[in-house]
Amino acid sequence: MSSEKGAAKVLDAGPVPLDYLPGLKQNAKTDVISGFILFLIALPLSLGIAIASGAPPIAGVITGFLGGILGSLLGGSYVTINGAAAGLIAIVYGAVQELGIMPDGTVDVAAGFRYALAVGVICGGVQILMGLAKMGKLTNMFPLSVVHGMLAGIGIIIMSKQIHSLLGVTFSGKMIPTIMAIPSSFANMAPSVALIGALSLGIMIVWPYIGRIGKFMPAPMAVILITVPLAKMLDIGPQFLVKVPLDFMGSFQSPDWGMVGTGVFWKFVFTYTLVASLESLLTAAAMDQMDPWKRRSNMNRELLSKGAANTLSSFIGGLPMIAEVVRSSANIMNGARTRWSNFFHGLFLLLSVALIPGILNMIPLAALAGMLVFIGFRLAHPKEFIHAAHIGKEEVIYMVVTTIIVVVEDLLWGVIIGFAIAVVTNAVRGVRSMKAGATVEERGDTLALKLNGSHGFINFVSMRDQLDKLPPGKKLTIDYSAVRYMDHTVNERFHLFNGEYTLTGGSVTTIGKEGLKPTSDSEVSALIRA
């Protein structure tokens, strides 16, 4: 039955769209429209993300148009949207601050940003090598709850820092002092600026619920259209407005390689590469599930394309880019059919900074801060923790520990410690090999996949390799009778695989789960042999 439903879903969507130039000819209208809508979303967010990262506002737009134009043509995904993302704010800001520390203890933000550009160039080069080495399966060996914990920690960081900007107060410091200083910023806020920031946040919250106009116009663009004239009316000072160079070509910056011999430089190379690659691959996998035609992304090409785009972006003064999940989801919901929607979104971004920079300089910083506070809250939404609790106690531990360490210490340490706890848990449960236990038997149009031993995220890469080699369109039986343990990440990935396989024209039947006890009532919880 699941096979019939999946096939019907693809059938209802119509024939699979063509790709590249034939795809442009076939789907130009829908993809141009979706690209324009995504441009309206991406423009204010790109400016806000850059400012929050300690970078010039133009840096976010450079990332957006290169990610759209270059990333779309080279990428392995059909419907993802590339650009600057909130998930990288904490990393880029940290790089600018730490690399920009002067001998007297002060921070030279401009110098720090140029050093961070050099980090971005090397990150792009590493991603290219990862793509060539076919490391696109990186996501398959990462516990999902650690990823969610990392994103929640980033969300808390974004909210804590942007609340000050929303109130018109300048504050810079480590996370705990930043959080502790929020009451002081409320006491010392600039009333007219705070009004704009609060209104922006309110628009972001209520916009999805106001009916047709909410569907016609993206919330970020509504914020801009409402707050720009309000800022003019309130006569807020230029220090509270966006500053985009009027000479677009003169706004490019080159990387500074002066910190390449330091440990902190390579720490950020590792962090950039890990998070940017992980987020992009996870987004591409998620969009494959949302794609009406269930097309599978080429993850190795995704790494190659992100690497090439990140290298060029960093060479001319842009931020690191990823495939961004919210914009990608909006792209699908707006009817995009091919990679050309990403291309056109990038083209419109390029035209905006080249042709109308003066209009961009009328945007209040507080409006962008309001958007980012909203995005930060969505990343750290309590429902994410409730969902983890619903899946199982272990997942809550991974997520909460990762979140706390990311906020109070460092993103990299948060991920490392969360990952280490998950590895130890897997080992205690019996997962002590990188090779997953499984045998495959083929008889005519039937396949039998017999799993054995303990299955955790650390050995799912080898499991995924076996799944990818299964011939399509068969009657597949997956036998769990010899499984001792299967963690949540693996169970969820098998759940997704079952759906994928039915779309090849095959069917999936599971047997032998009777002796396995789920750790919660979730269908993707960890399974333990009773």
Q: Is 73 helix (H, G, I), strand (E, B) or coil?
A: helix
pTM equals: 0.89
| Distance of alpha carbon 365 from alpha carbon 57, whole angstroms | 10
How many CB atoms are located within 10 Å of the residue 482 CB? 15
* Model pLDDT, residue 5: 39
Domain ranges, ordered by start, for the chain: 24-377, 381-428, 437-529
pLDDT at 6 over 80: no
* Model pLDDT, residue 139: 76
Structure tokens at 3: 């096979």
Over pLDDT 90: what percentage of the chain?
86
Residues facing 510 on adjacent strands: 478
| Distance of alpha carbon 184 from alpha carbon 178, whole angstroms | 10
Average pLDDT of the chain is 93
Q: Tell me the mean pLDDT in the region 177-185.
A: 95
pLDDT at 347 over 50: yes
Query: Going by C-beta distance under 8 Å and a sequence separation of 6 or more, which residues neighbour residue 506?
Result: 3, 472, 473, 474, 475, 476
Cβ–Cβ under 8 Å, residues 282 and 58: no
* Model pLDDT, residue 4: 34
| Distance of alpha carbon 340 from alpha carbon 3, whole angstroms | 30
Nearest to 162 by CA among 120, 123, 204: 204
Q: Tell me the mean pLDDT in the region 141-168.
A: 94
pLDDT at 9 over 80: no
pLDDT at 80 over 70: yes
* Model pLDDT, residue 397: 96
* Model pLDDT, residue 7: 40
DSSP 55: S
Vertex 238 angle, CA 51 and 161, to 5°: 30
Distance in Å from the first CA to the final CA of the chain: 30
CA 366 to chain centre: 24
* Model pLDDT, residue 500: 87
Better pLDDT: 172 or 33: 33
* Model pLDDT, residue 528: 96
Q: Is 391 helix (H, G, I), strand (E, B) or coil?
A: helix
Question: Does the domain spanning 437-529 belong to CATH 3.40.50.1100?
Answer: no
pLDDT at 103 over 80: yes
Q: Is the dihedral of CA 236, 242, 248, 253 positive or negative?
A: positive
The DSSP secondary structure of 431-492, one letter per residue, reads: ---SSPEEEEEEETTEEEEEEEEEE-GGGHHHHHHHHHTSPTTSEEEEEEEEEEEE-HHHHH
- What's the Cα-to-Cα distance from 433 to each of 430, 454, 484, rounded to whole Å? 9, 9, 14
* Model pLDDT, residue 491: 95
pLDDT in tens, 36-74: 999 999 999 999 999 999 999 999 999 999 999 999 999
Q: Is 518 helix (H, G, I), strand (E, B) or coil?
A: strand
| Distance of alpha carbon 236 from alpha carbon 192, whole angstroms | 7
Residues facing 241 on adjacent strands: 364
Cβ–Cβ under 8 Å, residues 188 and 181: no
Cβ–Cβ under 8 Å, residues 171 and 396: no
| Distance of alpha carbon 455 from alpha carbon 436, whole angstroms | 6
Q: Is the dihedral of CA 178, 181, 183, 188 positive or negative?
A: negative
Q: Is the dihedral of CA 329, 332, 334, 339 positive or negative?
A: positive
| Distance of alpha carbon 137 from alpha carbon 281, whole angstroms | 8
Q: Is the dihedral of CA 219, 223, 224, 229 positive or negative?
A: positive
User: With bands split at pLDDT 50, 70 and 90, how would you rate the model's confidence at 12?
Assistant: low
pLDDT in tens, 470-529: 999 999 999 999 999 999 999 999 999 998 899 888 999 999 999 899 999 999 999 999
How many CB atoms are located within 10 Å of the residue 232 CB? 11
How many CB atoms are located within 10 Å of the residue 513 CB? 15
User: With bands split at pLDDT 50, 70 and 90, how would you rate the model's confidence at 8?
Assistant: very low
Residues facing 10 on adjacent strands: none
Q: Tell me the mean pLDDT in the region 341-362.
A: 95
pLDDT in tens, 272-324: 999 999 999 999 988 998 899 989 899 999 999 999 999 999 999 999 999 99
Nearest to 314 by CA among 90, 52, 40, 88: 88
